[in-house]
Structure 1
């Protein structure tokens, strides 16, 4: 899915109007409703409030509870959901939505324009401390209630990425009556949406149980049926250990296993009771972010030495058993505006890395063979949270550590508890951190590399990168409705990021799921997230 017509095609006209998707036959439920499905996943949400949390698992789980204004399929096309149609003003600053009639939250509160305003205003409020959703709203100026079923969302400058953002669960709409100061807890009374499932219970360290919303009448136009969900119960079970998670599906204890590791793919292909299904993961794959404001990596020569000292091809092949390709850009190839010109743009060259380190003044060697400068060892620290760092990524970290040692760089891998890690990260007290970030919107680059988006400002600029040209390119891309211009601008940003050595991509990943043969109807959205509304048990 290297490109899509999505926001580019839809926003090319000065006035954009999308009509409802009720053209053609009415979609009907497929098969017989009922049944329970257990989805075994590797992580547990640390917060169930998607307007605050930035985690993938929170978004995947709560997608079943909260609907959004628009939906977006894997083809990138936007379709109606809670909004039946919408338009863009001539100055491209205001999106006006006509909302669906007769939709209610599961607590009985009517869904209306006031609910949209309450949610979007809450997201950007400083007291909410949104870690991601506020960034998705970009240059948000406010929301105006025109009448109960018409709402206008205003921006201070053109913001072409808004429809993509509005389709995500991070901008999902929750009941205004259930909005409170802290909605992170797994309390059914707090997690109230219009979605196909109700948040029934949460058992910490074990599972979340969702039950069918019998009154559901607001399915997105991208779904295969209308009305309530096919399943009567959907259980998210938290199983961190890969072998145990996959084994729970082969044994029948679970129906779907999330994130099947590549080393088990071959075995599962020979299991007649299980099928493998996968989705290319858009967004940012697992990569290393070098802190440009740390004393060590403020020097571009040292950053480029790290880039050339790491044999990414060998590491990715060994860790992922040949199932994944290596990455070249901060963006995955499945993301809009991915710049394929970066393929083979740099290479493993430890000799060149050694020259760069010499030029940076690290010409001495200590008793352990590490480089020194003015008597001080060339040492970098990579901070990580074991709970959120799967085994495959830890193995990549160790491969990086080994390759850097060969050129005289000591890389210390420092595990931390999540509570201790966040304040240290936000203060920029690290040399390297690494993570992946899913999402189909190339505006992720703005979240990750714009100089205004440091962690302590609510962004995710892990490199603490400040580059005026990159800022300008990303701002212009976010505002542009011209597909050629957007691709060019995002491409320039990707090339500069790699040329400056601030990000070191590793692998192009897929989301592999193991699904028991009795389960049908599982699909993926534009973010590569599994969708459960159409799932059935045969």
Structure 2
């Protein structure tokens, strides 16, 4: 049996393998595909033996207290059920009001998992049962006590959503039980190494709320903007312009938060307005800067910038595989071949400096940019061949003269999505006689449309990733084994029995070489079936004024886990 204690460096578990992969653009941090444990050199923060762990800011002893942290947030969200959300408009805005069971260390993403509402945990010898000891004396913002029943209710909502509701997370949990008031037992549905499972729990979307609230609203939190949390900040006011939160005076961590108030100002990602607000000191920190703004931040005295990679499987254009004619693989492949995929990447790079052409799955399962750009259909030298093949496929599908129907093309409001969609629209009509009508929607509304499947084509079809690549692939392209139904993040409605069988083997394989071979089989099936196109890896470019202290100096492979803001302070 393995026990995590706050005074022990690193996580305890069987080290399987760590496979480092590089699929981001030059100069960006290297994402990590986790096949096993975190780096052995990583050190956990320590506490005195027998004492619970409490997070503190970098330079805690020098930290100033008070002030208002002004954040440029991507929003507003169209609803508030974070478990059913696939947008930063929710997790970015709502995370400060909540805690996780365990969390990534926000001060350095390369450190191991640290306690949050769980103070310690044990793992059974077969790795299939996790027992968590919970922090005592914690209260929700409505004054009710936090207990094991709340953890069970939360993860039941995530893993087994009630009828009519969705969850965009897949976790390999068979059962969550409350052994007593402050002990939670999780039984896994299939094997995972300890780091991968704990890091999955630490995903920023898995916030803990109260059983009382989940029972009251029957798990449906879409219209509840203040469902109870235990987090460092409490709800104050929300308008169409901003969301204000104030310091939780009864927070269980006596050291944090440092600032008195957070104001999240709604500013659209990658826009000139966002850049102007940050560079003009109207906000202290901003997410998702365009390339020009990011370079200005890096060149400005007393400002800093950082790029995070995203762990998502990013298909920027998805086809509804259940609707005609997109249920025909020849049509899907023709539409894919008609687009200059490298040109698509360059279109999006105008707005997002981290974007690059990629495969369906990251290396070593798929190929990276340098390999893809040399071969058909991505190489410039094979462009005419790709177009000719696209026309032949359309003819074989019975559409040699195009299609008379005009198809609905739902497009996220972000500027790069709009330009990308306009390019695809023009090329499909010019080369193949396929006409589309663009429908631009707000990001949260787009997620609703993705899940409902009320589209012919959609941009974009990226689904959220995390530490567990197997779960990410399953959520994007397969069924949710917990419910037996299509995964709620399988926005393209892709179904392939061979793919599902290989994925089942991939999910539980611990031998590195066999896992790589299975992953490559999955990638080959996706390349043959083409459920989506415009495959682009991406990240997020951030900027802030240097009086904001405590932020990490290196990016990790997911920024979704860093928005509680309990670890920063203002030096002004």
1:21 Cα shift?
5.1
Q: Distance in 2 between matches of 1:270 and 1:264?
A: 10
Confirm or deny that 1:238 pairs with 2:277. no
CA shift digits 1:5-27 (9 cap, x unpaired): 86722799xxxxx9995379986
Distance 1:153 1:278, change over 3 A: same
Partner of residue 316 from structure 2, selected from 287, 296, 309:
287
Confirm or deny that 1:40 pairs with 2:68. no
CA shift digits 1:214-237 (9 cap, x unpaired): 23234xxxxxxx722111111111
CA shift digits 1:34-65 (9 cap, x unpaired): 11111112321222232233322212222222
1:511 Cα shift?
0.8
Distance 1:230 1:281, change over 3 A: same
Residue 57 (structure 1) aligns with:
89
The answer (yes or no) to whether the contact 2:119–2:134 under 8 Å persists in 1 is: yes
1:350 Cα shift?
3.9
Partner of residue 373 from structure 1, selected from 399, 405, 413:
399
Residue 177 (structure 1) aligns with:
212
1:268 Cα shift?
3.5
Q: Aligned pairs, how many? A: 509
Confirm or deny that 1:71 pairs with 2:71. no
Q: Name the SS for the 2:332 alignment partner.
A: helix
1:468 Cα shift?
1.8
Confirm or deny that 1:117 pairs with 2:170. no
Q: Name the SS for the 1:478 alignment partner.
A: helix
Distance 1:151 1:323, change over 3 A: closer
Q: Name the SS for the 2:523 alignment partner.
A: helix
The answer (yes or no) to whether the contact 1:84–1:100 under 8 Å persists in 2 is: yes
The answer (yes or no) to whether the contact 1:40–1:238 under 8 Å persists in 2 is: yes
**Pairing of 1:478-493 with structure 2 (within 5 A):** 478-482=507-511, 484-493=513-522
Is there any run of 5+ residues in structure 1 with no aligned partner, and where? 13-17, 219-225, 364-370
Q: Name the SS for the 1:254 alignment partner.
A: coil
Q: Distance in 2 between matches of 1:484 and 1:199?
A: 49
Q: Distance in 2 between matches of 1:46 and 1:455?
A: 28
Confirm or deny that 1:142 pairs with 2:175. yes
Q: Distance in 1 between matches of 2:498 and 2:398?
A: 34
Confirm or deny that 1:528 pairs with 2:566. no
CA shift digits 1:344-363 (9 cap, x unpaired): 15433443334434543528
Confirm or deny that 1:214 pairs with 2:249. yes
Distance 1:437 1:263, change over 3 A: farther
Confirm or deny that 1:107 pairs with 2:147. no
The answer (yes or no) to whether the contact 2:403–2:435 under 8 Å persists in 1 is: no
**Pairing of 1:373-452 with structure 2 (within 5 A):** 373=399, 377=403, 381=407, 383-385=409-411, 388-415=412-439, 422=448, 426-427=452-453, 429-441=455-467, 442=469, 443-451=471-479
Q: Name the SS for the 2:36 alignment partner.
A: helix
Q: Distance in 2 between matches of 1:372 and 1:5?
A: 42
The answer (yes or no) to whether the contact 2:93–2:264 under 8 Å persists in 1 is: yes
Distance 1:427 1:177, change over 3 A: closer
Partner of residue 362 from structure 1, selected from 395, 418, 421:
395
Residue 367 (structure 1) aligns with:
none
TM-score (norm 1): 0.82
The answer (yes or no) to whether the contact 1:304–1:356 under 8 Å persists in 2 is: no
Q: Name the SS for the 1:145 alignment partner.
A: strand
1:422 Cα shift?
4.3
Q: Distance in 2 between matches of 1:263 and 1:272?
A: 16
Partner of residue 301 from structure 1, selected from 322, 330, 338:
330
Partner of residue 247 from structure 1, selected from 276, 297, 307:
276
The answer (yes or no) to whether the contact 1:200–1:210 under 8 Å persists in 2 is: yes
Partner of residue 323 from structure 1, selected from 338, 353, 357:
353
The answer (yes or no) to whether the contact 2:101–2:115 under 8 Å persists in 1 is: yes
The answer (yes or no) to whether the contact 2:233–2:245 under 8 Å persists in 1 is: yes
The answer (yes or no) to whether the contact 1:7–1:481 under 8 Å persists in 2 is: yes
The answer (yes or no) to whether the contact 2:334–2:393 under 8 Å persists in 1 is: no
1:254 Cα shift?
1.4
Q: Distance in 1 between matches of 2:463 and 2:446?
A: 21
Q: Distance in 2 between matches of 1:420 and 1:320?
A: 22
Q: Name the SS for the 2:436 alignment partner.
A: strand
Is there any run of 5+ residues in structure 2 with no aligned partner, and where? 1-28
The answer (yes or no) to whether the contact 1:208–1:237 under 8 Å persists in 2 is: yes
1:154 Cα shift?
2.4
Q: Which runs of 4+ in 1 moved over 6 A?
A: 23-27, 418-421, 453-456
Residue 197 (structure 1) aligns with:
233
CA shift digits 1:464-490 (9 cap, x unpaired): 222222212323333345555544433
Residue 4 (structure 2) aligns with:
none
Q: Name the SS for the 2:307 alignment partner.
A: strand
Q: Name the SS for the 2:272 alignment partner.
A: helix
When the two chains are superposed, the root-mean-square deviation of aligned CA atoms in Å is: 3.7
Q: Distance in 2 between matches of 1:358 and 1:254?
A: 50
